[in-house]
């Protein structure tokens, strides 16, 4: 029996504000109690409007991220931090440079380590999430393969942070930003399905017509490793935040 809920909004802006408000409420509650907030964050076009809203809340409403710890889902491999294609760069441009999060509280998998150091880095990343007390909120987008993070079809329920090979659809979708498929890294480091499911609360955002099919596959299929987002049906506190277009193929 699935326990997820869906929230459908007229626009991506409205959905993004809904999620930003949830994050704000938790941070403010924890700040008032002198507690940290641990956020799992995502890249891609989907969360950008939500990050803009968090920045606005910081600037106009005094929302402080000084007690927030962040863990990003994934990073390309190989990838230098300062490359304009890195998720490190993306997160700083779209969020971190505009708020008061402490640099030492930002965690993003490193794409620039020698191959022989990658496995240990993944173990350390997973352990650090646990050491911080686990993720209070995990933000997700969804790829057309049904990936969450870079957990492509075939990813297992008990998978943890690890190096993976990207699916061809994912490479094709990334190609325009990289100036051609040949420039897209073949691999990535990603938190696993189990790492994501450990979060106490998950918001998966999907906006636009091109997400309608995978959203429908995710919510109407049984759990299958061929659509990794279906694993979210196992989670006790996941909200699918959709706009009208992304929800258009769901049964009425
Ligand atoms: P997008 O990517 O937000 O750019 O559509 C989502 C994803 O691949 O997870």
| Distance from the alpha carbon of residue 105 to the mean position of ligand 1, in angstroms | 24
pLDDT above 60 (res 154): yes
Cα distance between residue 44 and residue 179, in whole Å:
16
Confidence of residue 51 (pLDDT cuts 50, 70, 90): very high
pLDDT of residue 10: 98
**Is 168's pLDDT higher than 80?**
yes
Residue 5: its pLDDT value, please? 96
Q: What average pLDDT score do residues 27-52 get?
A: 98
Instruction: For residue 166, give both structure tokens.
Output: 């990207």
- pLDDT value at position 231? 98
pLDDT at 252: 81
- For each of the domains in the chain, give its residue range(s) and CATH number, in order of start: 5-243 (3.40.50.1360)
pLDDT at 170: 95
| Ligand 1 pocket check for 44: Cβ under 6 Å | yes
Q: What is the pLDDT of residues 186-198, one digit of tens each?
A: 999 999 999 999 9
Catalytic residues: 152
- Average the pLDDT over 41-50 and give the result: 98
Q: How far apart are CA 50 and CA 17, in angstroms?
A: 6
pLDDT of 3 higher than 80: no
Give the global pTM: 0.97
Q: Label residue 2 by pLDDT band (50, 70, 90).
A: low
Q: How far is the CA of 50 from the centre of ligand 1 (A)?
A: 14
112-135 pLDDT, tens digit per residue, is 999 999 999 999 999 999 999 999
Q: Mind listing the pLDDT tens digit for each residue in 205-229?
A: 999 999 999 999 999 999 999 999 9
Mean pLDDT of the 26-50 span: 98
Round the average pLDDT of the chain to a whole number and report it.
Answer: 97
Cα 44 to middle of ligand 1, angstroms? 5
pLDDT at residue 247 is higher than 70 = yes
* C-beta of 141 in contact with ligand 1 (< 6 A): yes
Any atom of ligand 1 within 6 Å of the Cβ of 149: no
* Cβ-proximal residues to 136 (8 Å cutoff; 6+ apart), any chain: 26, 30, 37, 38, 39, 199, 200, 201
Concatenate the DSSP letters of all residues of 30-76 into one string.
Answer: HHHTT--EEEEE--SSTTHHHHHHHHHHHHHH----TTEEEEESEEE
């Amino acid at each position: 029996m699935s326990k997820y809920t869906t929230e459908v909004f007229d626009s991506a802006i409205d959905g993004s504000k809904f999620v930003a408000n949830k994050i704000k409420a938790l941070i403010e509650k924890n700040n008032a109690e002198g507690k940290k907030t641990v956020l799992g964050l995502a890249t891609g076009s989907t969360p950008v409007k939500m990050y803009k809203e968090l920045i606005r809340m910081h600037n106009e409403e005094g929302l402080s991220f000084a007690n927030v710890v962040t863990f990003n889902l994934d990073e390309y491999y190989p990838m230098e931090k300062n490359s304009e294609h890195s998720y490190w760069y993306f997160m700083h441009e779209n969020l971190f440079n505009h708020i008061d999060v402490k640099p030492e509280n930002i965690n993003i998998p490193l794409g620039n380590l020698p191959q022989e150091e990658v496995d240990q880095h993944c173990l350390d990343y997973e352990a650090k999430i646990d050491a911080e007390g686990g993720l209070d909120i995990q933000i997700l987008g969804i790829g057309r393969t049904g990936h969450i993070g870079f957990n492509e079809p075939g990813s297992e329920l008990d998978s943890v942070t690890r190096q993976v090979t990207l699916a061809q659809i994912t490479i094709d979708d990334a190609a325009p930003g990289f100036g051609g498929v040949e420039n897209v890294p073949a691999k990535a480091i990603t938190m696993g399905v189990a790492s994501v499911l450990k979060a106490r609360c998950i918001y998966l955002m999907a906006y636009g017509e091109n997400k309608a099919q995978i959203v429908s596959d995710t919510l109407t299929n049984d759990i299958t490793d061929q659509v990794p987002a279906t694993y979210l049906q196992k989670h006790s506190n996941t909200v699918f935040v959709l706009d009208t277009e992304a929800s258009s193929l769901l049964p009425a």
